[in-house]
Structure 1
Amino acid sequence: MPNPVVLNNVTHKDLKINPVHNSQNTESLMIALALPFEFRSLQHEYPIVFYKDEKQQFHAVVLLGLEQNENLYANQFGWDASYIPLMVQRQPFLIGQRPANDDGERQTVLLVDTDSPKLSHIEGEPLFLAHGGHSTHLQKVTDILSAIQEREQETRAFMNTLTEYELLESFYLDVDMGNDSKHRLNGYYTINEDKLRTLTDAQVLHLHKTGMLALIHFVLASQANFAELIDKKRARQSE
């Protein structure tokens, strides 16, 4: 279980991190949240799809595997892709908020999962400099989390528009694993291209002017990566 605590340069002054994302220290999750502002980079490497949470809200994700607890990109040597999703890069850090003060203001704080296998007091890169400032790695993570937080409204606006225009449809994918073995991927959504073609001129203009039309095309282009993901699955099973 994750154990997030507020990071500080006194309690954690000697804490170190292994910056490499590999199968030994990276969570074996089959999906990672995908931020629209990184779609341009993600679409070259991963299938971008959508899922609906228990509150019936849609989220964009990249598929890292084809079944639960499977990450086909993390191996013993590192990460098998030129671009790593930001939600993977930021591990094991996340943004939190302190309880509201008397004025109703909530202070944003940096949290760290102290149970993460990426952390150590012996080996790795220090999180803090000798005088207490952020190391290069920690500053990079802080910048990533700040960008995610600052563009949260942009992310939500994109998802709300896809829902409003009814552009999402469920799909399933049957994968032939050989030896008469098949695997079905379901529970996810993609762009309904037929619905996209029936949008009004005003709707298309809105998507274009807000940059959302380009994001939609990045999602559609990313579907070509299903073939490579399936190849990774077959290769992993043959090891």
Structure 2
Amino acid sequence: MRCVRITARSPPWKICADMPEHALLTIEDHRALRVSTERGIGLGDAVMCAIAVPSEFRRVQDEYPILFRLNAERDRFTALAMFGFETGENLFLDDGKWDARYLPLAIDIQPFLIGGSPSESGDKQVHIDLASPRIDGNGAGDGVRLFDEDGRPTPYLESITDKLGELDLGYRESEAFFAALDRYKLLEPLTLEIKLDDGSTNRLVGFHGIDEDRLRELDAATLGKLHADDHLMPIFMALASLGRLRELIARKNRRIGHG
């Protein structure tokens, strides 16, 4: 059986192939498969936020606010690119288009994921969520092909494997980033109350942001250490991204205004 492989470890945020809808991507089983690269509610894009990794913060902050949230076990933070203020709300979706110049990697790679291998040192494999509405199993639709007529990965699939590897590496590197934020107490609870043009109020609760005052108090040696460990830039990018909240509010007001 020929399968598509990438050199990357399976991250803890990714559900792997032991779920019934997920399958190892192989040429034999999925030669005719096509994947829609369009954007829309019916394609699973109606989401309020998505995971972002520190290595992509520079690109993310150009479009989206970056906030932080504790996981259910309350033992690890996750960074999130915010698309809206309510569950299922994506203010960047407009007439079947995603109105932004950059898609966070966790959105861009769907419906693909990283599958594990029996050996810890072995290559990881590309898996696909066959239950995704993006999948055209018969190959008769307008989606992008994964394999060409000779059974070779198409440029689209090759780009997906690169993005999966980048996302996986970014997630594994983020452990040290979040450890540094915890070590220097650089995250603070953040509650946002957004007053909209129609008089209603949206509240974002349960999120954290970079504590700017605490950051200013750090001495030169600590700042130098953060810089040497490549943590300082994503910290500044997360701070800068909060300026995007005004644009997100403007999108919400325009949506309300259009009924």
Match of 2:16 in 1: none
Q: Which residue of 1 aligns with 2:245?
A: 226
C-alpha displacement at 1:2, in angstroms?
A: 8.5
Q: Measure, in 1, the Cα distance between the counterparts of 2:51 and 2:144.
A: 26
**Matching residue of 2:31:** 13
- Find 1:49's aligned residue among 67, 76, 80: 67
Task: Report which stretch shifted further, 56-65 or 19-28.
Answer: 19-28
Q: State the Cα RMSD in Å.
A: 1.8
Identity %: 34
* Cα gap change, 1:119 to 1:188, in 2 (>3 Å): same
CA distance in 1, matches of 2:180, 2:170: 16
Of 96, 107, 120, 1:88 maps to 107
Q: In the aligned structure 2, how far is the partner of 1:133 from the partner of 1:73?
A: 34
Moved more, 225-234 or 144-153: 144-153
What is the TM-score normalised by the length of structure 2? 0.85
Give CA deviations for 1:121-153 in whole Å, capped at 9, x if unaligned: 321111111111111111111000112223433
Give the conservation status (yes or no) of the 8 Å contact 2:54–2:170.
no
Number of aligned pairs?
A: 236
**Where does 1:1-239 land on structure 2 (aligned, <5 Å)?**
3-56=21-74, 57-98=76-117, 100=118, 108-120=124-136, 121=138, 122-123=140-141, 124-239=143-258
Contact 2:40/2:97 (<8 A) preserved? yes
- Give the stretch that moved more between structures: 54-63 or 69-78: 69-78
Is the partner of 1:110 in helix, strand or coil? strand
**8 Å Cα contact 1:16-1:126 kept in structure 2:** yes
Aligned twin of 2:4: none
Quote the Cα distance in structure 1 between the aligned partners of 2:66 and 2:156. 27
Unaligned runs of 5+ in 2: 1-18
Secondary structure in 1 aligned to 2:243? helix
8 Å CA contact 1:22–1:78 kept in 2: the answer is yes
The offset of 1:74, in angstroms, is: 2.1
